[in-house]
Amino acid sequence: MASKASTRRNSVNPGDATSTSDETLPTNNEEINLKIGTSDRTKDFGFLPIPARLRYNPEKPAHFGLLLNVVFGFASTLTVANLYYCQPLLIQLSIAFGVSYDEVSKIPTLTQAGYATGLLLISPIGDLVPRRPLLLGLILSSASLCIGLSVTKSLKAFEAISFLLGAVTVTPQIMIPLAADLAPPNRRASAMSIVMSGLLFGILLARVLAGVIAEFSSWRNTYYMAFAAQYLMAIVLYLVLPDYPAKNAHLTYFGILRTMAKFAVTEPVLIQACLISLASSATFTNFWVTLTFLLGGTPYFYDTLQIGLFGLIGMLGVATAPLVGRLIDRMVPWFATLIATLILIVFQCVLVGAAGINIAAVIIACFGIDVGRQMQQVSLTTAVFAVDPAARSRMNAVLIVFIFLGQVMGTSVGSRVFLQFGWRPAAALSLAWNGWQLFVLLLRGPHCQRFTWLGWEGGAEMKKQKSTEKSEDVEKQTEERIESSDSSETAPTSQGELPEKSRTEVQ
């Protein structure tokens, strides 16, 4: 018997249906204002004209094709790399500023602290304002801050700018919900997987680029390159990024933060995804951090360049994103998460058994863990985004905060276990974390209602059924109704009150 915390009438299947929460449901006045506001929006920032073909038109929605999807992926790559350029440059930075390694080691910490701040305070704004100007503003800000890092000769200034740079490097976390909104329901997971693969690619690429540039020229050129690449991407986005209306014009900024906190403790699908992602992110980070120790010591004794080449294997795993996304699009997300978790367990067992014995085990596991982690994250995000389309940025922010906490846990705990006990206990720790992911997933079945916390409901069908397709059609029709409401049919009987017809539709 499934236990339920609520019997609300708007309960839905979180794996393959959607609903709108009370906090995010606009009244008809707000629907009309949304329509008028978006039809009048012809400029970004009040002065920069939006190309006519990119202006929002509810009668002719923008086409989210492969080209635009790839642009989103590259934008994620170029922006998330800001968080990781400094890591291979710490020795050069200590020499340039004339300080010890301990002092420059604060730079990555401050950058990540800024990123956490941006996740909590900036990325939820994607549910409040039009995202085209928000994305352009963030990329221009991060590019400009890279100029400051290139020219400053003060360590304190470098640290302060690094914190600010981390805070505005939340572009991928706004693009992922936007890709989900723009993409057709039947290829939503594919669209998100390409954007997420761009994010993972940026993490791997940043370290390689920074190390190569610093090896053959000044470390400052790394940030000059980042500045130029992001300004170029800002121009590309200006020319191809379609405008899309704000989804919650009736909420305030503090209302957005309040509902985000509420979602974090009241949505079973989101909480399940967060607990799984926390452990999965810790496992992934533990592998990549301790890989350096493993390959640099007995029995391999690889040099820095050889160790760095393992990032290319990780990139091969990232390259499977389109295939992973298509698979998830055909399945109930819960089962895609189950398959991904089992993949992670299998390849983690390979590490536990032979990581310190045969390099082939490391190579195989490196590829498999990257594929499994990507599939798991996309499927979990797909399930979370299905809960409430109007709150995708906030729910994504909560999910990413747990992923960030998992990275911290994996780095600190994993490194300590490896250094004190060796490679096999460190790999076994990750295997235990994988077991936790499977346990949390099995606590709540694939077809449970929205507010069911524990149990199994609705059978065990793996593929998306007609009911799922109907739910997606309902979501699409709901969004279209909000975007193109006719004022003659939706005029309220009194201020803040829905007419009888609209109230019946909502119920």
- Rounded CA-CA distance 503/438 in Å is 41
Rounded to 5 degrees, what are φ and ψ at 159? -65, -45
| Cα separation values, 114 from 83, 122, 234, 316, Å | 9, 11, 22, 30
| Cα separation values, 277 from 39, 72, 354, 398, Å | 39, 23, 26, 11
pLDDT of residue 8: 40
pLDDT of residue 36: 34
pLDDT of residue 28: 35
pLDDT of residue 404: 84
- Rounded CA-CA distance 377/192 in Å is 10
The helix (run of H) or strand (run of E) holding residue 296 is: helix 268-296
pLDDT of residue 489: 38
Nearest to 215 by CA among 384, 91, 42: 91
pLDDT of residue 227: 93
pLDDT of residue 245: 82
Count H helices, E strands: the chain? 22, 4
Domains of the chain: 48-250 (1.20.1250.20), 251-481 (1.20.1250.20)
Considering all CA atoms of the chain, what is the largest pairwise distance in Å, rounded to the nearest integer? Answer: 78
Residue 48 burial (CB count, 10 A) = 10
pLDDT of residue 214: 81
pLDDT tens column, 134-147:
999 999 999 999 99
Check if the beta carbon of residue 75 is closer than 8 Å to that of residue 139. yes
- Rounded CA-CA distance 318/368 in Å is 10
Q: Is the dihedral of CA 426, 402, 149, 97 positive or negative?
A: negative
DSSP assignment of 395-432 equals HHHHHHHHHHHHHHHHHHHHHHHHHHH-HHHHHHHHHH
pLDDT of residue 305: 65
DSSP assignment of 6-69 equals ---TT---TTT-----GGG---HHHHHHHHHHHHH--EETTTEEPPGGGS--TTSPPP--HHHH
pLDDT tens column, 280-338:
988 988 887 777 778 777 888 777 667 767 777 777 777 777 787 788 888 888 888 99
pLDDT of residue 308: 67
Residue 492 burial (CB count, 10 A) = 15
pLDDT of residue 488: 37
Backbone Cα Rg of the chain: 23
Rounded to 5 degrees, what are φ and ψ at 217? -155, -160
Nearest to 115 by CA among 414, 409, 403: 403
Check if the beta carbon of residue 15 is closer than 8 Å to that of residue 446. yes
Nearest to 349 by CA among 434, 410, 436: 434
Three-class SS state of 452: strand
- Rounded CA-CA distance 105/344 in Å is 32
Report how far Cα 428 is from the mean position of its chain's Cα atoms: 27
Three-class SS state of 486: coil
Residue 401 burial (CB count, 10 A) = 19
- Rounded CA-CA distance 38/243 in Å is 9
Mean pLDDT, consecutive 10-residue segments, the chain of 507 residues?
A: 42 41 39 40 83 82 84 91 84 84 80 88 87 92 93 91 93 88 82 85 82 83 92 93 82 85 88 92 84 78 71 75 79 88 92 82 85 87 86 87 86 82 86 93 84 77 59 48 40 39 37
Report how far Cα 109 is from the mean position of its chain's Cα atoms: 20
Helix 359-385 / helix 268-296 crossing angle, nearest 10 deg: 160
